């Protein structure tokens, strides 16, 4: 059983009728619905305004893959929670950072870089698969289109990805490394660019398939040793 927790800031949905119309269930509901009928996957949702930001210890410490969507309120996520999330990733929890989560505290702490990029509303994207054998690319076509998306453009200040899976083409002339993987401790991290709140991107079938693949890829597959600095005996006499 893979326990997925979908964390969404959840403020756009409260503030804007337009966003509620795009996402009646919230962005978190839309993403969680990917997994609702999946045998072997149990999904929970959490938002910033839930008690303990929806991630009390009994949720966070039983989460196998944490999916994160945040945008305008990264600063409201308590540093103490960010530390716990970071520790969970190092211990093996998968972390999937979506769209504006590039600027979230957990993602930035895991990356160690500024995670900055250029952006513009009202664009259109075509994502190309450049690592077709990567598990996250399973069943994903050579390219797919998002008729409406916010442009994210290079230079994207991330560490060199372990693997670059998708490259985005934007109508306005930019490109972006739209699907990147990293390993931190025993945890697997996937950054996926699509997901501006104004468009029903998380209902797009290809996006949903990618997130499904990413959960299978990122989930821990066992117990990992503690990360510590033991003083060890020689293995040779």
Q: Which residues bind a copy of itself (CB under 8 A)?
A: 86, 90, 103, 109-114, 116-120, 123, 126, 128-133, 138-139, 142-143, 153-157, 159-160, 162-164, 167-175, 177, 182-188, 221-222, 224-225, 227-236
Q: How far apart are CA 74 and CA 108, in angstroms?
A: 11
Q: Which is nearer to a copy of itself, 19 or 175 (CB)?
A: 175
Q: Which is nearer to a copy of itself, 24 or 172 (CB)?
A: 172
Q: Which is nearer to a copy of itself, 38 or 130 (CB)?
A: 130
Q: How far apart are CA 220 and CA 35, in angstroms?
A: 17
The conformational region for residue 100 under phi > 0 = left, psi -120 to 50 = alpha, else beta, is alpha
**Least distance in angstroms from the C-beta of 85 to a copy of itself:** 12
**CB neighbour class for 42 (10 Å; exposed up to 12, middle 13-18, buried from 19):** middle
The tokens for 85 are 């999330």
**Least distance in angstroms from the C-beta of 61 to a copy of itself:** 18
Q: Which is nearer to a copy of itself, 17 or 133 (CB)?
A: 133
Residue 126 burial (CB count, 10 A)? 15
Q: Which is nearer to a copy of itself, 17 or 142 (CB)?
A: 142
**Least distance in angstroms from the C-beta of 48 to a copy of itself:** 21
**Least distance in angstroms from the C-beta of 45 to a copy of itself:** 26
**Least distance in angstroms from the C-beta of 50 to a copy of itself:** 26
Q: Which is nearer to a copy of itself, 21 or 232 (CB)?
A: 232
How far lies 16's CA from each of 75, 102, 125, 152, 232, in Å?
20, 22, 24, 22, 57
**Least distance in angstroms from the C-beta of 82 to a copy of itself:** 12
For residue 34, the number of C-alpha atoms closer than 13 Å in the C-beta half-sphere is: 26
Nearest-5° Cα angle at 154, 150 to 155: 140
The tokens for 223 are 């117990």
């Amino acid at each position: 059983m893979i326990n997925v927790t979908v964390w969404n800031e959840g403020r756009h949905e409260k503030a804007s009728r337009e966003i509620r119309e795009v996402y009646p269930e919230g962005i978190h509901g839309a993403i969680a619905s990917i997994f609702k009928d999946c045998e072997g996957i149990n999904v929970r949702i959490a938002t910033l305004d839930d008690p303990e930001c929806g991630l009390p210890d009994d949720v966070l410490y039983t989460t196998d893959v944490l999916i994160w969507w945040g945008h305008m309120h990264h600063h409201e996520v308590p540093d103490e929670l960010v530390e716990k999330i970071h520790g969970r990733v190092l211990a093996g929890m998968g972390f999937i950072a979506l769209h504006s989560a590039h600027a979230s505290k957990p993602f930035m702490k895991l990356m160690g870089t500024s995670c900055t990029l250029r952006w513009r509303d009202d664009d259109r994207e075509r994502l190309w698969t450049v690592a077709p054998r990567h598990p996250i690319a399973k069943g994903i076509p050579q390219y797919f289109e998002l008729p409406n998306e916010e442009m994210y453009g290079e230079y994207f200040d991330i560490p060199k990805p372990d693997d670059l899976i998708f490259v985005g083409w934007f109508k306005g002339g930019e490109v972006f490394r739209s699907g990147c993987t990293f390993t931190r401790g025993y945890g697997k991290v996937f950054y996926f660019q699509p997901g501006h709140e104004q468009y029903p991107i998380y209902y797009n079938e290809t996006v949903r398939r990618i997130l499904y693949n990413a959960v299978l890829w990122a989930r821990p597959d066992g117990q990992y040793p503690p990360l510590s600095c033991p003083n060890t005996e020689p293995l040779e006499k």
